[in-house]
Amino acid sequence: MITMIKKMKITVISKFLLALSSIISLSLAQTAEEIIERVDNNVVVKTTRYRAKMLISLGGKIREKEFIGYTRGKEYSYMEFVSPARDKGTRFLKIGDEMWMYIHAVEKSTKIAGHMLRQSMMGSDFSYDDVAENEKLQDLYEIEFIGIDSVEEKECYKLELTAKVPEVNYFFKKMWVDKKTYIPVKAELYAKSGKLMKEINITDFQKIGKRNYPTKIIMINKLRKDTFTELILEEIKLDIEIPSKVFTKAYLERK
Amino acid sequence: MYLLKLAYRNFFRNTRRSIISGISVAIAITVIIFAQSYMRGVIENISENIVRLISGHIRITTKEYERRERMIPLSEALDLTPELYDELNHEEILMVSPRIKFGVLLGEEELNIPALGYAIDPDKETHISGLDKRIVEGSYLDASSNGAIIGNELAKRLDLGVGDTLTIITRTAYDSPTGINLLVKGIFSIGIGGMDRSVFYIPFNVGQKLLDLEGRATELVIIVKDPNKAINIAREIRLRGDYSIVPFQYNPILKYINTFSFVYSIFYAIILIVACSTIANTMIMVVFERTKEIGMMKAMGLNNLSVVGLLTLEAGIIGFVGSSLGTVIGGILSYWLKYQGVDMSMMSSSTSADMPFGPIIYFSPTPMIIITGFLFGLLATIIVAFLPITRITKLEPAKALKTI
Amino acid sequence: MRVLNLAWRNVFRHRRRTIITAAAISVGLAVMIYMDTMMNGLDNLAAGNIINFETSHLEIFAKGYYREEGLFPLDTIIENPEFILQRIAKIKTIKGVTPRIKFQCRINNGIDELPVLGIGIDIEKESKVFETANTVVRGEYLKNPDDILIGKDLAKDMDLDVGSFLTIITRDRYGTYEAYDFTVSGLINTGHPLLDRNAALMHINIAQRLLSMYGITELCIKTRDDNKLVQLKNEIAGKIGKNFEVYTYKELNAGIFEISGMKRSGQFMLALVVVIIAAVGIINTMLMAVMERIPEIGMLKAMGFGNYNIVKMFIYEGGFIGIFGSLFGCFLGLLASFHLVYYGLDLSHMLENIDIIYPIKFIIKGEINYMIVLGVFIFGVVVSVIVTLWPVRKATKLEPVEALRHV
């Protein structure tokens, strides 16, 4: 008799646990999207203005460049290089998924189109279309929550992103989002074959208002020794007034 | 001597036949001399173009640059150090001129016209390429201004004239975007299609700045006192570092052409053989025709050797006449075309920048060509006729007399 | 009929004269055939590299592909090659068809990256069209799916050898990055700089997988008849329609073929000269042969033969001698040509002393053009007949007595 009751209890408990876990996993499944949303909330700002230092290492040879940038949402972006002297005055304008380049000595802008988009930007490991990628991750990828993982002693949500349309740069990505700050501290970019191509680490951030904004981003080429690009953002101003004219070709070509 | 006189008179026994036989040889020798002069002219033309426009007498690049030359790798440029110039201080070297070769895409709206740019030292280059004499509109480059000179066909494709702006947008040796607006100072016409269609020149320091190659160059072009010594001089140059030092004689295009001209020698030999066979044929017929006569001569005491000698001399005279005629005609034609030159620019309009051919080919006959032409004609005739003559004249006099 | 009979017997009666005359014809014709065979061989040598490794005789692309020359776009591709293969299956002059995929990629050995041209090949069909398989100097041809072939020079540049691993980095037709590991199965040495220094060959289906495509960039076609390329091109174009473009190798490599253009006219001149000299030789001999028989004409006339018959007889004789001479000449010419075709003329040692960057084996392998052989034969006969005709007609106008006295 007692055994029967025990058995019933066990069945009830297990059923309850089962129900509970499905509710939890349901909420967790949503969490993947949610996590991305919260990451976006950090990074996607109405407007930003910043000064950046770019360190490019190609097979061990290191070069340093400095530029000023303005962004509005994810649609508009403007960059102007200020150093070294030979790059001074080189500007880029991105509107949507189109990009233009302006070289000071030429006094004319050129649209970066077609196969040019695949060329490397300023000699770094980023190609123009890497930078110009404009669509939401959720639209391009199926995002799956894998679990909790720790990166540099920080607890992170581990996500896996698999392309759901063919027109993506990287077929498969892994992202580690810091639980506390919702900053994607590490990302791994994979080729179709499953080979790891690039690793992106965000090693520094700054608290501005309610946001955690990344300030040091390192992109490592995993296929080539001593090849990486480091981006350090300084003098960051968020949500400031930026006149619309900044994001026009006229401004790009101004003297 | 008596034989010679006899042979000479025998020539006129059937002048028409003798002449016709000689004509084959004449044609062959004319052609051989003409073709050789042409080939030599072509090789000289291409050599000159290579020296002037591509490599000078000796060309120096880094080894890595040469390996990847197809891709025009700016990053493999060499450093222009004082040590390098010191090491090139050879008594036979007249001038060392640096150049930067770079590939760009030009275009007004879209960057879709591939072109080849050379950043050159304008003063030194006047002694190397003589570009200043090829300007058809406007003026030549000068080192101090931001000007460019472009080929006339390229100018047409870009719709640019003197005074217009040439916009260059490209990448530096370190992959940074770079660009410049240059004034079109002049338009040139070299006469070589490929170059007029896709090449332009800018001052050296402008190129260095544009491509982030300050203190560097992609190649050094060297002019020596005696071009024939270029190979030896190239061997004597000792440079510290991994360099490729190539005298123009080793330029792949030149070697390719040289090889082909060698093959043509085989053709000449064949033509000569055919020509000579006609004379041999004639002699054979002659011998049979004159069998009775030969029999009689032998009966009169003339020995085999003399008979053979006579007939051979006859063949020789025909050969001599034919060869002389051929030599004279071939020689006159060739020397005339040496001074006149042949304008090949029609063909040249489709050549690529890799094949510097034209525009005017000057035939290049040499006394050597003329003399060997003549001698070969003469000798070949005698040799080719000799064998059948000896065979046939071994007839017994009696037998010979019996033939009708 | 009587005249024909007489002519025939005359020919054999004056055997020596016949033989000598025929010999003149033979030598001339034999040389013409041999020259033509050699010139074809020379042409093939120059074009050889391109035909044997790069484009073969003809290439078919999707419409618009070739305009982007040098860029190897993956959006204008041949989506279903089977359509084309079906349509051209019946064309007999096609010796082989093979598909290829060409794409831009980078070869990465962990330390350096070099841009190269990736070429996906179908190893079975490839052997009917290209010579690549015969140029493997180390290791083996492609076997396993992950095998890759690179040029000996490229291997040296990148410190790779048979058995090395390398990564090919590229972007598929949608722009997605792909990085795939291969093992070097063999090194090739073709003498063609593109393949030896700047290309990597792999299985076509692997290339398709890398590039996320089912189609191919081009079909390469080898024909039996090198001279009729333009006709073949038009024939194929007609059968496959407006969505595709067909090019001959000459159109695809215009730069190199100016040299050929120059050579062609030079060769034509040379050939013309040989023709003239051969003709002169025939004329010479036949003329002599006929001239010495003019007294005979006088005799025949005196015997009552009409002019018409005399001329006819000589024409027949000229014809017979022409035929014998031409036959023998063609035989000799073909004999020498076969030697050239199967053994070739090896001039490689001429190039040994010079330090060439690209080692090319220099063997001229002839190619016989049977149409030319036929033409040469006809030429020999025709010239013989014409040459006989002219003096004979003149001679028949003479009085018999004059003819008899003719020397």
- Give DSSP secondary structure letters for chain A: -HHHHHHHHHHHHHHHHHHHHHHHHHHHHHHHHHHHHHHHHHH--SEEEEEEEEEEEETTEEEEEEEEEEEETTTEEEEEEEESGGGTT-EEEEETTEEEEEETTTTEEEEE-GGGGGSBSTTSS-BHHHHT--S-HHHHEEEEEEEEEEETTEEEEEEEEEESSS--S-SEEEEEEETTT--EEEEEEE-TTS-EEEEEEEEEEEEETTEEEEEEEEEEETTSTT-EEEEEEEEEEES----GGGGSHHHHT--
pLDDT at A5: 72
pLDDT at B308: 79
User: What confidence category does residue B379 fall into, taking pLDDT thresholds of 50, 70 and 90?
Assistant: confident
Give the best residue of C177, C180, C181 to mutate against chain A (max A CB count within 10 A): C177
Q: What pLDDT digit, counting tens, does each position of B220-254 carry? A: 999 999 999 888 998 888 888 889 999 998 887 78
pLDDT at C69: 62
pLDDT at C362: 60
Q: Which of C252, C274, C297 is a domain's end point?
A: C252
Residue located via tokens 């091109």: C233
pLDDT at C352: 47
Q: What pLDDT digit, counting tens, does each position of C129-171 carry? A: 888 888 888 898 988 999 999 998 889 888 899 999 999 999 9
Share of chain B above pLDDT 90, in %: 28
Give the best residue of A61, A165, A224 to mutate against chain C (max C CB count within 10 A): A224
Answer CATH for B73-217 from 3.40.50, 2.40.70, 1.20.81, 3.30.460: 2.40.70
Chain B contact set for A106 (CB, 8 A): 167-169, 179-181
CA distance B313 to chain C (A): 20
User: Which string of DSSP letters, residue by residue, matches C225-266?
Assistant: -GGGHHHHHHHHHHHH-TTEEEEEHHHHTHHHHHHHHHHHHH
- How many domains, in total, are found in chain A? 1
**Residue C7 in this model has a pLDDT that exceeds 60:** yes
Interface of A with B (CB under 8 A): 63, 86-87, 90, 101, 103, 105-108, 110, 116, 119-120, 122-123
**Residue B307 in this model has a pLDDT that exceeds 90:** no
User: What confidence category does residue B149 fall into, taking pLDDT thresholds of 50, 70 and 90?
Assistant: very high
What is the extent of the structural domain holding C289?
2-49+258-405
Q: Is residue A121 part of a domain?
A: yes
d(CA B114, CA C67): 13
User: What confidence category does residue C68 fall into, taking pLDDT thresholds of 50, 70 and 90?
Assistant: low
Tell me whether A194 touches chain C (CB under 8 Å). Answer: no
> Does residue C66 sit in the same domain as residue C181?
yes
Q: Is residue A25 part of a domain?
A: no
Chain B contact set for A101 (CB, 8 A): 177
Q: Do A223 and C180 touch (CB under 8 A)?
A: no
**Residue C257 in this model has a pLDDT that exceeds 60:** no
> Does residue C60 sit in the same domain as residue C201?
yes
Q: Is B80 exposed, middle or buried (0-12, 13-18, 19+ CB in 10 A)?
A: middle
Chain A contact set for B177 (CB, 8 A): 90, 101, 103, 122
Report chain B's mean pLDDT, rounded to a whole number. 84
> Does residue C282 sit in the same domain as residue C235?
no
**Residue C353 in this model has a pLDDT that exceeds 50:** no
Q: What pLDDT digit, counting tens, does each position of A158-206 carry? A: 999 999 998 888 999 999 999 888 889 999 999 999 999 999 999 998 8
Which of A115, A192, A225 lies closest to C176 in CB terms? A192
Q: Do A195 and C112 touch (CB under 8 A)?
A: no
Average pLDDT, stretch C348-360?
Answer: 47
Token pair of B373, please? 């032409």
Average pLDDT, stretch B27-42?
Answer: 86
Give the best residue of B176, B180, B202, B210 to mutate against chain A (max A CB count within 10 A): B176
User: Which string of DSSP letters, residue by residue, matches C356-382?
Assistant: -SS----EE-----HHHHHHHHHHHHH
pTM over 0.80: no
Higher pLDDT, C262 or B183: B183
> Does residue C22 sit in the same domain as residue C73?
no
Q: Which of C223, C252, C281 is a domain's end point?
A: C252
- How many domains, in total, are found in chain C? 2
Q: Which of C189, C220, C252 is a domain's end point?
A: C252
Q: Do B24 and C285 touch (CB under 8 A)?
A: no
DSSP strand pairing (A76-83 vs A61-72): antiparallel
> Does residue C111 sit in the same domain as residue C29?
no
d(CA B298, CA C50): 65
CATH of the domain at A71: 2.50.20.10
Which of B252, B289, B350 lies closest to C292 in CB terms? B289
> Does residue C207 sit in the same domain as residue C320?
no
Q: Do A167 and C172 touch (CB under 8 A)?
A: no
3-state secondary structure of B389: helix
pLDDT at C106: 92
> Does residue C176 sit in the same domain as residue C275?
no
Chains that contact C by 3+ CB pairs under 8 Å? Answer: A, B
Q: Is residue A31 part of a domain?
A: no
**Residue C343 in this model has a pLDDT that exceeds 90:** no
pLDDT at C358: 41
Average pLDDT, stretch C82-105?
Answer: 88
> Does residue C67 sit in the same domain as residue C173?
yes
Chain B contact set for A90 (CB, 8 A): 176-177
CA A60 to chain centre: 25
Higher pLDDT, C382 or C279: C382
**Residue C324 in this model has a pLDDT that exceeds 70:** yes
Higher pLDDT, C214 or B344: C214
In angstroms, the Cα distances linking B295 to B187, C292, C331 are: 80, 19, 36
pLDDT at B359: 80
pLDDT at C357: 38
> Does residue C24 sit in the same domain as residue C110?
no
What is the extent of the structural domain holding A111?
42-252
The DSSP bridge partners found for residue A143 are: A161
pLDDT at A20: 65
Q: Is residue A6 part of a domain?
A: no
> Does residue C296 sit in the same domain as residue C149?
no
Q: Do A106 and B181 touch (CB under 8 A)?
A: yes
User: What confidence category does residue B200 fall into, taking pLDDT thresholds of 50, 70 and 90?
Assistant: very high
> Does residue C149 sit in the same domain as residue C97?
yes
Q: What pLDDT digit, counting tens, does each position of A127-170 carry? A: 887 777 767 788 889 999 998 998 888 899 999 999 999 888 89
> Does residue C237 sit in the same domain as residue C103?
yes
CATH 2.40.70 domain locations along chain B: 73-217
CA distance B123 to chain C (A): 32
Report chain C's mean pLDDT, rounded to a whole number. 81
- Give phi and psi for B200, each to the nearest 5: -140, 160
Average pLDDT, stretch A57-85?
Answer: 88
Higher pLDDT, C45 or C361: C45
pLDDT at A53: 92
User: Which range among A208-222, C222-236, C268-282 shows the weakest confidence by mean pLDDT?
Assistant: C268-282
CA distance C170 to chain A (A): 9
